[in-house]
Amino acid sequence: MIILGIETSCDETAASVVVDGTKILSSVVSSQIAVHSPYGGVVPELASRKHIEAIVPVVKEAINSSGINFQKLDAVAVTQGPGLIGSLLVGFSFAKAYAMALDIPWVGVSHLEGHINSVFLEPDPPVFPFVALLVSGGHTSIYHVTSHTKAVLMGQTRDDAAGEAFDKVAKMLGLGYPGGGIIGRLAKDGDPEKISFPRPFLDKLSFDFSFSGLKTSVNRYIQTHKNEYRNMIPDIVASFQESVVDVLSYKIINASMVKDCNNIAMVGGVAANIRLREKVKEEAAKKGIYVHIPSFDLCTDNAAMIAAIGYHYLIKGKVSHINDDVYSKVAI
């Protein structure tokens, strides 16, 4: 089954052509970083407008570079939520119209399920059941995954997502946007033990997260070291990053042991963080746990993962209808 995937949940306009949920024929992503950087974060109205400008050329490029004609498409899969409503509506409305014009089925899918299924676009996917850490700018959650379409939430952030904390700390330090990549690069030159920031485990037996207190600790450090903190930025970001990494790695390893799963998946934009990848692999190796992390391009928002999860719903006969709508949040 050849599926066109479309993703517009936040600030990337993406389209991809995928065969049978595993083979990527094309994957095109149009980033809006330059648009939002001056504001230190995503401006929803600007994001929506840029999606409107980009959706047609991005889809055309995905079709053209896939090596197939659009008439060969069997279905369309599109992000239905969660995300920014204005952004979601652009991709969702386009997918409806595109599928109806071609007289093929279409299905709206969860952006989060797409991230979880991104590991199945790699050569060595996990076996079911496994535990997944989804860590991004908008989400930090742990799931027990028993099939392509069934993932039970074990825990999630109570406030800031890990990626959001990276962005906000970068903004405090005047480093630019998005913060994750910038902090990751600067941290290489810093001492992660120089500053003792807290490890917000909440309850070590719980799988929930909280990063707002850590963010506040960094801010307090900056305020109490106004005259010298600029010379300490590598140490500050390295120490901050190590705190986040310690918490994330501990929680996912513990979740794997509680569920007696020897396979872990780590997905989402923050899964591209080099230190996090190293730490999780180090700790997992001690327990004999296999770690599955998508390539960098599949960690960030993309449409291949949307086509991948869409395939599994479509083969089960699930399709969307003309009156279906997008949603901004998932029920807790």
| 32-81: pLDDT as tens digits | 999 999 988 899 999 999 999 999 999 999 999 999 999 999 999 999 99
d(CA 309, CA 255): 24
The position carrying tokens 């991948």 is 308
Tokens of 317: 């006969």
Under 8 Å between Cβ of 207 and 155: yes
| Three-class secondary structure of residue 151 per DSSP | strand
Tokens of 239: 């120490």
Question: Given strand 290-292, what is the order of strands in its sheet?
Answer: 150-156, 140-147, 130-135, 263-267, 290-292
**What is the per-residue pLDDT for 332?**
43
pLDDT digits (tens, 9 = 90+) for 260-276: 999 999 999 999 999 99
- What percent of the chain shows pLDDT beyond 90? 94
For the chain, where are the alpha helices, taking DSSP H only? 33-36, 44-66, 85-102, 111-117, 162-172, 179-187, 212-224, 233-258, 274-287, 296-299, 304-314
| Three-class secondary structure of residue 301 per DSSP | coil
pLDDT digits (tens, 9 = 90+) for 178-188: 999 999 999 99
What confidence category does residue 204 fall into, taking pLDDT thresholds of 50, 70 and 90? confident
**What is the per-residue pLDDT for 331?**
56
Tokens of 144: 């027990």
Go through the domains of the chain in sequence order and give each one's CATH number: 2-116+299-314 (3.30.420.40), 124-293 (3.30.420.40)
Would you say residue 192 has pLDDT above 80?
Answer: yes
Q: Which pTM value belongs to this model? A: 0.94
**Pairing state of beta strands 75-81 and 106-110?**
parallel
pLDDT digits (tens, 9 = 90+) for 279-314: 999 999 999 999 999 999 999 999 999 999 999 999
